[in-house]
Amino acid sequence: MDIASAKLIGAGLATIALIGAGVGIGTIFGNYISGALRNPGAAQGQFTNLMVGFALCEFTGLLGVVMAFILLYT
């Protein structure tokens, strides 16, 4: 296998992290909205947890993209 093709395969595999990030973000926001509709008074108290979960999922996706760029351009 050529080095260039191995780099492309590795970068493609690194971007699989974006799938997990998308599923995680959708799950977090969907569950927050579901909980907020059931108990609107507790929604404000859970907003911080929502933002922390979103940030962690987004970081996972960005880490995958950065890893793909590192594999492609180094």
User: What are the C-alpha distances in Å from 16 to residues 13, 19, 24, 64, 65?
Assistant: 5, 6, 13, 7, 9
21: Cα separation from own chain's centroid: 2
- What's residue 1's pLDDT? 82
- What's residue 51's pLDDT? 95
Domains of the chain: 3-73 (1.20.20.10)
pLDDT tens, 4-58? 899 999 999 988 888 989 999 999 999 999 999 999 999 999 999 999 999 999 9
Q: Position of tokens 């970081």?
A: 59
- For the whole model, what pTM was predicted? 0.79
CA 34 to CA 12: how far, in whole Å? 34
DSSP 3-state of 15: coil
